[in-house]
Amino acid sequence: MIATLLYFVILRSAAVRGALSPWTESNATDSSGECICEAFLSNSTFPIGELISLENTAVEINRKLEMEISKVEMYESKLQVYTAKIMNLTVLIELMEGDPDSYNEFHMEEVKIKIKQVEALIVELQLSIQTTSSVLVSIRQQVSVMIEVLTRLEVTYDKNIVLVTRREYIILQQKLQECERRHNEIFNPNIGICNHGGIRKISQPFISQLNADLNAGYKYGGWGKDSKPLPGSENMNWYSGFSDTLVSRITLYDDYYKLIMRQGFSTHELYLVYKYDWRGTGNNYIVRANTLYYQFRSPFSMAKYNMTSKTAEYKVVPEATTRFSYHYSPNQNLDFAADETGMWVTYATEESNGKLVLGKIDEESFALEEVWQTNIFKPSVGNTFMVCGVLYATRSVDSKTEEIFYTYNTRTKEESHVSIPFEKFQDSYVYLDYNPTDQKLYMYNNGYYVNYHVWFNHEGSRDKPQLLTGK
């Protein structure tokens, strides 16, 4: 086992250190005359026991994942069989409807039995899907906790020792993501489609690790995926983190694994783009079509930096003011969002007395094509994001709980007060955005990468959010 190997590596290193070693040593000779050396490394020096425990857990999780992957493969084959059965039944029923005189009561009963059989198969498959989904959520939580432990060990102790074990867990995360992706492709064909009644609930937070700078002081920033990836960049992740609200660079990673391993393939500095200072401010940026959209400093405006052509431009937003930011963070005056319908920006104006204004951005002209006025005071809002043309606003409930409390539908121009609570991991966060390519929320929370699964209201779904009236 890797942990056992690491034990002897540490032991040898301690022997080399000699008198400076914190090991407790004893020497003896056994009955055969062989010399025996014993050494004990206290857990305060290096918690080898934690690594051994983590490795045992990794083996268990790997076994679970292999089982769930085989189940997903079985679901795929079952779905093909069920689809064929349903198609055959559909053809048969159409024939019976077209020529009812050619079929007697026996034929009708036979069709009813086949329909009941298919119904039973579908119910069985639904139960299996629910079980697999809950297992995957549980595994993801376990892996997230272990990555957090490894990050702590890496910061506290020799990172080269921990790195070997970390790679094991990154491989587990990759396998988990692949299993979830295949599961979603089979059972969630609605990604990118808005045939639902809005958000139903938010999952538990999936905490990946501390940021790529391994610095909790970098509490301002964001991370996520491209909301409209270029061909070949579907798995690309990005990260931008700072100790203040100045936005000066962004780093790109080939995939989630590279993000966690801090192996970026490109870092873009905004300080000098064609000999001009293009730095921004706030924690309100997104990446779309390999272009960074963010709040420009001077003049106060919305800006975009094309990471392919390495060119930048800005556009002043009429009447937008710098006086009203979100509750958790300063300088979030222009907040960008992307969903299934396009790109958006939220802000406030002096004329609106600080109430939030929502604008739809025409991506080709990089200008506002339509604007909506809401009735929520922006400084009372934790953050906002867009899903299928609907604005969702959050606020704090307590130190561990956030709540989606307000929605504004741009199609119907209707607003609603709702209550959809979710865990925010720590008492504050600075970045929250929805990505339509995987239907996840991405949060940057005091230096940590956090994400959530989003569940929508479909026909027959349960746990619908409570509509609050009279507010």
Mean pLDDT rounded to a whole number for the chain: 80
Whether residue 83 is found in the same domain as residue 18: no
Whether residue 25 is found in the same domain as residue 94: no
pLDDT of residue 459: 63
Domain end (from 115, 147, 181): 181
pLDDT of residue 377: 96
3-state secondary structure of 321: coil
**For the ranges 264-273, 312-321, 421-430, 445-454, the one whose mean pLDDT is highest:** 312-321
Residue 319 lies in a domain: yes
Residue 236 lies in a domain: yes
The pLDDT of residue 25 is above 50: no
Residue 455 lies in a domain: yes
Whole-angstrom Cα distance, residue 231 to residue 380? 39
- Residue 432's DSSP bridge partners are 443
Q: State the residue for tokens 């070949």.
A: 232
Whether residue 264 is found in the same domain as residue 380: yes
pLDDT of residue 173: 64
Higher model confidence: residue 213 or residue 106?
A: 213
The pLDDT of residue 146 is above 60: yes
C-alpha distances out from residue 468 to 365, 382, 457, 464, 471, Å: 39, 19, 17, 12, 7
- Report yes or no: 457 and 464 within 8 Å, Cβ to Cβ: yes
Higher model confidence: residue 358 or residue 85?
A: 358
Higher model confidence: residue 23 or residue 86?
A: 86
* Overall average pLDDT of the 258-278 stretch: 87
pLDDT of residue 28: 46
b (16+ CB within 10 A) / e for 409-436 = ebeeeeebebebbbebbbebbbbbbbbb
**For the ranges 100-104, 262-266, 343-347, the one whose mean pLDDT is highest:** 343-347
- Asked whether the CA dihedral 271, 273, 278, 279 is positive or negative, the reply is negative
What is the number of domains present in the chain? 3
Whether residue 288 is found in the same domain as residue 371: yes
Of the listed ranges 125-129, 334-338, 406-410, the one predicted with least confidence: 125-129
Whether residue 228 is found in the same domain as residue 353: yes
pLDDT of residue 182: 61
Summarize pLDDT for 385-427 with one digit per residue, the tens. 999 999 999 999 999 999 999 999 999 999 999 999 999 888 8
pLDDT of residue 42: 45
3-state secondary structure of 268: strand
Whether residue 362 is found in the same domain as residue 346: yes
CATH number at residue 376: 2.130.10
Whether residue 15 is found in the same domain as residue 68: no
pLDDT of residue 207: 82
Using omega within 30 degrees of 0 as the cis cutoff, is the peptide bond preceding 379 cis? Answer: no
Residue 275 lies in a domain: yes
- Report yes or no: 460 and 198 within 8 Å, Cβ to Cβ: no
**Position 159 confidence tier, pLDDT thresholds 50, 70, 90:** low
The pLDDT of residue 16 is above 80: no
Task: Single out the residue of 199, 203, 137, 176 nearest to residue 443, CA to CA.
Answer: 203
pLDDT of residue 371: 96
CB burial of residue 248 (10 Å; 0-12, 13-18, 19+): middle
Residue 189 lies in a domain: no
Q: What is the CA radius of gyration of the chain?
A: 27
Whether residue 154 is found in the same domain as residue 135: yes
Whether residue 124 is found in the same domain as residue 172: yes
**Position 74 confidence tier, pLDDT thresholds 50, 70, 90:** confident
Whole-angstrom Cα distance, residue 451 to residue 446? 13
Whether residue 33 is found in the same domain as residue 96: no
Residue 302 lies in a domain: yes
Summarize pLDDT for 42-73 with one digit per residue, the tens. 444 556 667 667 777 777 777 777 777 777 76
pLDDT of residue 261: 82
- Report yes or no: 326 and 383 within 8 Å, Cβ to Cβ: yes
Domain encompassing residue 427: 199-467
Residue 187 lies in a domain: no
Whether residue 118 is found in the same domain as residue 227: no
Whether residue 75 is found in the same domain as residue 216: no
**Position 175 confidence tier, pLDDT thresholds 50, 70, 90:** low
- Predicted model pTM: 0.66
**Position 187 confidence tier, pLDDT thresholds 50, 70, 90:** low
pLDDT of residue 184: 61
Residue 400 lies in a domain: yes
**Position 269 confidence tier, pLDDT thresholds 50, 70, 90:** very high
